[in-house]
Amino acid sequence: MIVLGFVFAPRFVPVIGEILPPSETNDEAMEDLNIADVNRYPGEELIGLEAIGQEEESGYPSISSEDGDDISLTEEEEEEEKERPSLVPEAREYYENEDVVAHIVIPGTAIDYLIVHTDNNTFYLYHDLRGNRTSAGTVFLDYLNSPDFSDPNSIIYGHNMRNGTKFHNLRMYRSEEFFEENNLMIVTSAYAVLYYDIFAAFITHINFNYIQIEFDDGEFLDMIKTMKSISYHQTEIEIGEEDKVLALSTCWGPVGTDYRLVVVGRLRRDEE
């Protein structure tokens, strides 16, 4: 599958539309999307394969069901995953890759990965930490985000892998018990160790602009309000104008539906 990315395209802010479960469609909302902004929503195409080449040459995963991408790592790739260092300086040297900016771990899940950051949201969809082509891709920070996680909303993307790797475990946050017992995300960047308390988990069509980074007055809290309203579960975690959040995003559902499974946490305040 191919994802189009236009780095120099003007920013497009989709209007918040009706939030639908993955079994339904919303053609009207799809018409509101700007194809030039698909670079911000990695994982699926918005045009037919016949217009851009053969699927087997594309290097992108096919998303065949809500169970995840039908991809398996080779033995060599699995060994590479086991050996990866967790600290940014060591990882940059080990992989000879300056794109490594952080490491994320969620206790209680298999999510324990290095995070990369570059000037687009397409390269690491189908390349590993050494730049080798792989359908499994690499966990990466949105290219519009600052690598020090100083934005109000930072977004990290990862494939929903059927073999349980990358962001497949995010699906477990649909369970209330799991949500309550595994609510901490730890990000170690080149600058600090950051702790995020999870306050929302939801499935949404990309007509909800949960990947917005720059906000006018009131827009940040409006986004947070929508996240909470569509979340499977509710918490007592409060979010104010000065807070920062981290959203983990992965694909959901069959090809063409453009739904995402998202888990969001708030950065702990100094007094916490």
Return the top range by mean pLDDT from 2-6, 36-40, 192-196, 254-258: 192-196
Domain that holds residue 244: 27-267
Token pair listed for 14: 């989709």
Average pLDDT, the chain: 76
In a domain, 167, yes or no: yes
Residue 7 domain-assigned (yes or no): no
pLDDT bin (cut points 50, 70, 90) of residue 15 is very low
* Residue 68 φ/ψ region, left for φ over 0, alpha for ψ in the -120 to 50 degree band, beta for the rest: left
Domain for residue 272, yes or no?
A: no
Per-residue pLDDT tens over the stretch 33-64: 232 333 466 654 322 222 222 222 222 233 33
Residue 66 lies in a domain: yes
- What is the average per-residue pLDDT within 85-92? 88
Q: CATH number of the domain that 162 lies in?
A: 2.40.260.10
Report the amino acid identity of residue 49.
L
| 246 belongs to a structural domain | yes
Q: Is the pTM of this model over 0.85?
A: no
Residue 19 domain flag:
no
Q: What are phi and psi of 117, to 5 degrees?
A: -150, 125
Q: Could you give the number of structural domains in the chain?
A: 1
Identify which of 103, 109, 143, 108 has the alpha carbon closest to the alpha carbon of residue 123.
143
Please say if the pLDDT value at position 2 is more than 70. Answer: no
Mean pLDDT to the nearest integer, 76-88: 67
CA distances for 127 relative to 130, 134, 139, 159, 222, angstroms: 8, 5, 10, 12, 35
Q: How many CB atoms lie within 10 A of CB 79?
A: 10
9 in a domain, yes or no?
no
In a domain, 93, yes or no: yes
Q: Higher model confidence: residue 65 or residue 188?
A: 188
The dihedral formed by the CA atoms of 19, 68, 171 and 145, expressed in degrees to the nearest 10: -70
Q: How many CA atoms lie within 13 A of 139 on its CB side?
A: 23
pLDDT greater at residue 46 or residue 216: 216
209 or 6, higher pLDDT: 209
Percent of the chain with pLDDT over 70: 67
